[in-house]
Structure formats: structure tokens, C-alpha cells
Amino acid sequence: MSTPIARIPRYELHCHLDGSVRPDTVADLARRQGVALDRPIRDLVVAPAHCGSLTAFLTYIDLPLQVLQTPDALTRTARELVEDWKADGVVYGEVRFAPQLHGRHGMTPDEAVQAVAEGLAQGRAVTGVGTGLLLCCLRHQSPDESLAVAETALRRRNVVTGLDLAGDETLYSAQPHRAAFDLAHSAGLPCTVHAGEAAGPESMWEAIDVLGARRIGHGVRCTSDTALLNRLRTDKIALEMCPTSNAQTGAVPSLTEHPATQLLADGLPVTISTDTRTTSATTLQREFDALRQATGWTSRHEVLAQENAAQASFDPGTRSRGRTTAT
């Protein structure tokens, strides 16, 4: 007998804060801040099913980012995300954001991190959901800017769980950001890197061998490289796959062609996340429903993916608790 889906503890590892702001919250913050909206809010913050590129997809995060320039807005958004996780059956979630993008009105990166951490703490207190916070370096920014993000992460090590590198791999190499990741490694701060989303296996090799990534954000373009698949399997480098988003950005042609099912069957540590709950109009429940419809997933697939996510989390306590058995 299959385990009922509602009973499977869920772990979300790949979730961007600025892409997961509730549409009504974006509208309310815009009203309070005097930001005029020229279209219905969902048209502004929810991307179409097929954007054609990562660049086009990211334009739907412009407005949320515009209104997330105060500590109160960041705290509210982080708290609401934890509430949304609770409603989605998530027992532990990691959220990531780039604090350096929230200084338009003078907020410092440390203040931005503190504001998000406060919101996560408020959410934990109400829901009991465990949380982790990752800071994002950005490929298009300078090595010095990335180093500053890593330094912020280490200053706020009491609330920061890991470091990430985000951005378009087809346009920007990971190599220039090595100093930031070397600093993180020297302090024992675990790292993940967006790779194999817009570019091919070479970007994943770079993430692993140059930046020392323990996890790969997306990684859907790994299937053509047998040596890479063996490396991911042997070193247990988790793939943070986000099916709806991957189809929207063109990282995969369609959900039916998403590689998660085959990679999971081949023993790779596949995990499933939403990426951007608002931009992709999704939840983990919807992601698993879509995989069941498109590729025949069962509750057993979900159990395995959630066990992988628990083991790959950057919280040691979560790794020790994350065993689930299907019956």
C-alpha cells in the first residue's frame, strides 16, 4: 500500500525569497510604498508556462524586488513564506536571497539578513517548521561583491546556513567567484551553485571542481555526461530540481521530458523544490502532482526525493531526522 502523500514530511532546499512573495503581499507593499501598478498583480509577478529563457523568467521578479527594500517588507515576506511552507506540508525549508540587492533605500546587507532571519524566526515560532537561510552571490557581479556576500554570511553565521551562486551560466563563469567560496569553505559554511540550468555539463563541473559545491541548483542538463553522472552519484552531490520552473525557463523542453524520474531511478540524489513559488505559481504539492501526471511518479518516488532532500540539507539536525519509509 502506498504512503498517503499528506503523511510524507517535505523538505524544500531551493526556494528564492523574492520569487516567493504572495501576490497580495506584493500588491499591498506596492500600495504602501506608492508604487503604481499598471496591470493586475498576477500578470506582473506570475510567469507564463513557457518564457523561452531564464532572462525572460527573471523579469517577473522585478516588482517583488522593488518592494522588498525595507526591513519590515523582508521580515513580513519571510514569515509568510514559512506559513506557506506549513500549509504545503514542509517540515524544513531553506530560503535564499541576495542581500546586496536590497540596498536601494540604504539598507545594508547585514540589516537585510537580520530582517529575513527575524521573519523566519517568527514563522518558526508559529508553525514549528524548521528553516535555513542561504545568501546568494550573483554571477554578473564582481568577485569583490561576491566576497562581500561571503563575508556577510560569516558575520551572520548564527543565522546563515549556506552560500549560493545564482545567475545565467551561459553568460558568466563561476571561476571569478572562487575567492568567496574558498572563504566559505574555510569557515565550514556549505555551498550550493546554480548550474546545468541555462548551460550544459561544463557549468556543473565548474561548480563542483572550482567552487566545491555540495549541491547543484537545477542540474537538469547533466544527462549527456556519463562521467558527471558518476561523480554526482559517487560524491552524493544533490540536484535541486524544480520541474515547473525548469520548463518555464526552457531548461527542459517540457515536464514530460524532465530528467528527474530517470535520474532518481539511476540512483542520483534528486530533490524537488519550487524555485519560485509565486513566479511559477506552484507549491511542492503541485510539483509532485505535475510529476505524477507527466512522468508517472508515485508516493514512493516522493519518499525517495524527500529522503534525499533531508540528507542534503545544510542543517545537520535535519539530516539525522530525515528518514521516511513508504509502506
Maximum distance among all Cα pairs of the chain, rounded to whole angstroms: 56
Euclidean distance between CA atoms 238 and 309, whole angstroms: 8
Structure-block grid coordinates of residue 220: 537538469
207, burial (CB in 10 Å: exposed 0-12, middle 13-18, buried 19+):
buried
Decide if 197 is catalytic: yes
Alpha helices (H) along the chain: 23-33, 41-45, 54-58, 62-67, 71-87, 109-127, 143-155, 178-186, 201-209, 226-235, 243-249, 260-265, 284-295, 299-312, 316-321
Structure-block grid coordinates of residue 170: 551561459
Per annotation, catalytic residue among 12, 94, 169, 197: 197
Per the rule left: phi > 0, alpha: psi between -120 and 50, beta: everything else, 189 is: beta
Count of alpha carbons within 13 angstroms of residue 321, beta-carbon side? 12
Q: Which residues are catalytic?
A: 197
